[in-house]
Structure 1
Amino acid sequence: MRKLTAGLFHSIDGVVEAPYKFQFDSFDAELGASLGAIMGKVDAVVLGRVGYQEWAGYWPTAQQDDEFAKFITNVPKHVASRTLAGPLAWANSTLIQGDLLSYIRALKNTEGGEISLMGGISLVRELLFAGLLDELTLITHPVISGAGRHLFEPDDPTTRLDLLKSERTSKGNMLLTYALRA
């Protein structure tokens, strides 16, 4: 069975929305190497509608972050949306038809490398609480954002996690990888 992972940039105060607004000078060589290693394992991506629309308008013609631009444009993308209609314009993009949880279960049972959930705060929550997300990595930058959406909501159920690994980078980023406690 393929592993489904998610990684979110995260501020000290818990904001995961629009990290470009707060991460500024937080990137360092160690973070870049870790993200590159993650990309090397991934051969399919799941995106939400908002993430898909933002990224489809940027990455295919991006002049910076060339390595990620090539990766995200060429990798098969599975897009969860209740409002988009197919076919999708961005290369290698497929609109998820039918029940999301059934689709993800079936995708996890196909041959291949890791599946990465990118660009979908609500999707991360839904798939974590459904028991389908195998690993959640929070990349915490040493900054207080002050505003923005948090990953978890006040009415979410109490959920126990196990810390699988942790890494500290030279600029003080913390990469913390969790899984649901068995």
Structure 2
Amino acid sequence: MRRLTAGLFSSVDGVVESPHLWQFDSFDPELGAGMGAMIGKVDTVLLGRQGYQEWADHWPRAEATDPFGSFINPVQKFVASRTLSGELGWTNASLMTAPLEEFVTALKETDGGDIAVCASISLVRQLLFAGLLDSLMLMTHPVVAGAGRRLFDPADPVTRLELQDVTATSKGNVLASYGLRAL
């Protein structure tokens, strides 16, 4: 069975939205290595509609200037959307052909490398609470963002997690991977 992973940049106060506004001065080689290790096992990416539209507009033009582009552009991408239809304009991108949980359950049963959720807070939340996410890496930067969407809401159910791995970097980032804890 394929593993489903997700990685999100987070501030100390739990903000995961728009990390480009607060993470700029804490990237370091260890953070890059952790991200590289995570995506090195991935051959399929899941995106939400908004993330797809933002990334499809940016990454095809940025491949020459950013190493992430050489990963994300050729990889197989599936997009969860209730509003998009037809052919998608980004290389190897297509719409999910079934409801999210059903599609991901079937995809995990296929052959291949890891599957990663990218650029979608809502997909990460849905798949975590559905019990389908095998590993969630939170890359916590040493900053209080103050404002922005957080990964978890006060109304979320109690969900027990198990620490899978943790690393601190030279600039104070903490890379912590969690999985659902079996009860």
- Structures share fold, TM-score greater than 0.5: yes
* 2:63 and 2:70 in contact (8 A); partners too: no
Structure 1 stretches of 4+ with a deviation exceeding 4 A read none
Unaligned runs of 5+ in 2: none
Alignment-mate amino acid for residue 84 of structure 1: L
Aligned CA distance change for structure 1 residues 143 and 107 (closer, same or farther; 3 Å): same
TM-score, with length taken from structure 1 = 0.97
Q: Secondary structure at the match of 1:74?
A: coil
- What is the CA distance between 1:63 and its match in structure 2? 5.8
Taking the aligned partners of 2:120 and 2:64, their CA distance within structure 1 comes to: 22
Aligned CA distance change for structure 1 residues 7 and 65 (closer, same or farther; 3 Å): farther
Counterparts of 1:133-144 in structure 2, within 5 Å, are 133-144=133-144
Question: What's the CA shift string for 1:152-171, capped at 9, x where partnerless?
Answer: 11111001100111000000
- What is the CA distance between 1:86 and its match in structure 2? 2.1
**1:11 counterpart = 2:14:** no
Taking the aligned partners of 1:96 and 1:113, their CA distance within structure 2 comes to: 18
Question: What's the CA shift string for 1:116-157, capped at 9, x where partnerless?
Answer: 001110110110010000000100000011110000111110
Taking the aligned partners of 1:129 and 1:63, their CA distance within structure 2 comes to: 33
- What is the CA distance between 1:36 and its match in structure 2? 1.1
Q: Aligned residue pairs: how many?
A: 182
Q: Secondary structure at the match of 1:13?
A: coil
- Which position in structure 1 is the counterpart of 2:2? 2
- Which position in structure 2 is the counterpart of 1:89? 89
Identical columns (%): 61
Q: Secondary structure at the match of 1:126?
A: helix
Alignment-mate amino acid for residue 53 of structure 1: Q
